[in-house]
């Protein structure tokens, strides 16, 4: 399948990265560290995309330890596991930030770098949700599903914002900087406290707040994890509203209508309507096989984000359609039939083609396999197309930059 037609490829040469980072942590702490220390560890011959991919391997290693020690997301791991998660995530953040500096100093900046960087970040988001759920002993519950929704929504909205405003804007406190550092701290503290069960106690009680203050029991008994989720939902709503304001402002400045842009949020929320319906109708997936389903949902979101970034680079119309939602919609319709027959009447429903139990599990793994195949073909096709057109390589430097002579004359 062709994802980028030849007539749109000349737009790649008009690409110019635009990003604004208002984070004080990034400005005064991280960027000096990256520029003066970290970047010197990478040779000039190393491609920026290879740095990005290498950083992602730390997260993959973290995910493998999660599958080994805590596949059900509700068990305590050895302390060193949590420390390794903290170190791995910090290394991922460092490599992800340094790739841009490497691209500039090797003169390899271009649209492929932004596409590759966003694609890796999108995959990391769902894996990091599973790691965080494992660090909190959330288990295979709606808590993990809610955390996944908030994380994927934040990433989708940020990419939607960038598509319309043409600028990647990071606030004073943002996910790629402060959000990641908070997770690093949480992982390290989990290891220090001896396991994820620490977070399942009342936060106010653990902090020594007396019950005599008149705090209602349902608030006083909220765990650390539940307080985190409340805070996360508040931040999600704020960031979504702020991004919507940015898009409306940018569209109006160009003389475009804002309502069409806001419709770009519907694919995400429509997809999640189907996801929640499927998990509700098939509790066996939510309670026993949530990890592979989270990976499936993450790839669905990565595919949508990848389409948006590609459309941004070659100036295509906004991509509203995600084919990966079709089989999941079939799963919802298939599961809904027997319920309608049972509660409304036999004439209002239909028998399930998949049945329940092992067949639903097999269907879910088929969804994951199909998602990997479709997204993989998209990634390979777009990368190969861009590399062929720009005469570059993805993970190596095809045309190393040669510094011109100081006198301005060509060397013979």
Catalytic annotation, residues: 118
Q: Residue 367 is encoded by which pair of tokens?
A: 């969804």
| Pair 301, 155: CB distance under 8 Å | yes
How many C-beta atoms surround the C-beta of residue 172 within 10 A?
A: 13
Rounded (5°) CA angle 372-264-18 = 85
Instruction: Give the torsion sign (CA, 290, 296, 302, 308).
Output: negative
- Expressed in angstroms, the distance from the first to the final Cα of the chain is 47
Spatial distance between the Cα atoms of 76 and 190, rounded to a whole number of angstroms = 10
């Amino acid at each position: 399948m062709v994802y980028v037609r030849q007539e749109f490829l000349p737009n790649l040469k008009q690409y110019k990265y635009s990003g604004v980072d208002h984070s004080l942590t990034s400005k005064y702490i991280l960027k000096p560290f990256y520029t003066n220390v970290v970047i010197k560890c990478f040779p000039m011959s190393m491609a920026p995309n290879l740095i990005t991919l290498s950083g992602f391997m730390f997260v993959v290693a973290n995910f493998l330890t999660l599958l080994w020690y805590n596949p059900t997301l509700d068990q305590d791991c050895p302390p060193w596991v949590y420390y390794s998660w903290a170190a791995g995530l910090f290394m991922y953040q460092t490599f992800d930030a340094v790739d841009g500096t490497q691209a500039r100093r090797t003169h390899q900046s271009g649209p492929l770098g932004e596409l590759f960087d966003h694609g890796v970040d999108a995959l990391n988001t769902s894996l990091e949700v599973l790691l965080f759920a494992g660090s909190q002993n959330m288990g295979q519950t709606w808590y993990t599903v809610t955390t996944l929704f908030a994380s994927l929504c934040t990433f989708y909205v940020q990419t939607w914002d960038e598509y319309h405003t043409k600028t990647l804007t990071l606030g004073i406190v943002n996910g790629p900087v402060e959000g990641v550092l908070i997770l690093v701290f949480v992982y390290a503290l989990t290891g220090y406290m001896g396991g994820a069960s620490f977070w399942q106690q009342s936060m106010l009680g653990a902090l020594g707040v007396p019950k005599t203050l008149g705090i209602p029991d349902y608030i006083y008994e909220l765990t650390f994890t539940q307080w985190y989720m409340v805070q996360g939902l508040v931040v999600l709503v704020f960031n979504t509203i702020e991004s919507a304001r940015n898009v409306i402002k940018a569209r109006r400045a160009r003389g475009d209508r804002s309502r069409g842009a806001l419709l770009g949020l519907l694919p995400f929320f429509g997809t999640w309507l189907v996801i929640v319906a499927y998990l509700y109708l098939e509790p066996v997936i939510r309670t026993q096989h949530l990890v592979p389903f989270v990976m499936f949902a993450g790839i669905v979101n990565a595919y949508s984000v990848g389409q948006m970034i590609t459309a941004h680079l070659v100036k295509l119309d906004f991509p509203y359609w995600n084919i990966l939602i079709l089989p999941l919609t079939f799963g919802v319709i298939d599961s809904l039939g027997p319920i309608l027959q049972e509660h409304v009447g036999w004439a209002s429903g239909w028998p399930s083609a998949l049945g329940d139990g092992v067949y639903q599990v097999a269907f879910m793994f088929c969804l994951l396999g199909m998602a990997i195949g479709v997204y993989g073909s998209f990634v390979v096709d777009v990368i190969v197309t861009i590399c062929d057109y720009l005469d570059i390589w993805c993970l190596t430097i095809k045309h190393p930059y040669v510094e011109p002579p100081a006198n301005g004359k060509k060397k013979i």
